[in-house]
Structures are given as C-alpha cells and as structure tokens.
Amino acid sequence: MNTEIVYEEIFPVRLSKLRMDKGVSARDMSLSIGQSAGYIFNIESGKSLPSMSMFFCICDYLEITPRDFFDFENSSPKKLNHLISSLKSLDQDSIDDIMSIVKRLKK
C-alpha cells in the first residue's frame, strides 16, 4: 500500500480548511495578500500551486508557520500555537494540573 502523501492533492484542501477557519473568503484572502481576486480559488481548486514566496505570504496571512501548514494532524494550528504560548507563562504546578486535565479528556 502506498502511503506517500500527494501534496498537490492535499495542499488545496488544507488551504481551504485553514482559510475557512479564519473566516475569510477566497476572494478577500487573495486581495489581502496582493493577488488577483481568483488567486486563492485557483489554488484551492487545484488549478495552480503558489510559489515559495507566496506560500510564505499565505502562512503569514493565516498566522501560522509553514511547518504548521503541513502538520496535517493539527486541525487548528493557530489556536494550538496560542495555547502553547499561554502555557509557557504558567508555573510548573499549573502545567501539571493542565496535563492531568488533558489526560482525563483523552480517555
């Protein structure tokens, strides 16, 4: 069984999901990153892929890293990054308490 990820197929789906999570239309996103109105639509429909520099612009617009974009198991990278940032300011006891809650939720 071939388990290789076909990025040309999954990239448009991932972009669409992250864009919708942000609550913005493909047209508005296209214009916000300085492209033609149909730019994001063309990517999401599989007609084209962005250049590397435009991919970085897309990630900046979505407020995620390129690594976050390709972390397909992470359905909400922006929220997770915000949570991790918040956790960094907590003391060890608070982090232990949160870990206990997470363990209970996973059961």
Torsion angles phi and psi, residue 50, rounded to 5: -75, 155
Q: What is the pLDDT of residue 4?
A: 58
Under DSSP, the state recorded for 40 is H
Alpha-carbon gap, residue 100 to 72, rounded angstroms: 26
pTM: 0.79
Per-residue confidence in pLDDT tens, the chain, 107 aa: 445 567 888 999 999 999 999 999 999 999 999 999 999 999 999 999 999 999 999 999 999 999 999 998 898 999 998 999 999 999 999 999 999 999 999 88
Q: What is the pLDDT of residue 6?
A: 78
Closest CA to 64 of 101, 103, 27, 17: 17
Give residue for tokens 């864009």.
Answer: 19
Q: What is the pLDDT of residue 1?
A: 42
What's the distance, CA 64 to chain centroid? Answer: 6
Q: What is the pLDDT of residue 41?
A: 98
Neighbour-count burial of 58, counting CB atoms closer than 10 A to its CB (0-12 exposed, 13-18 middle, 19+ buried):
buried
Q: What is the pLDDT of residue 95?
A: 92
Alpha-carbon gap, residue 71 to 14, rounded angstroms: 10
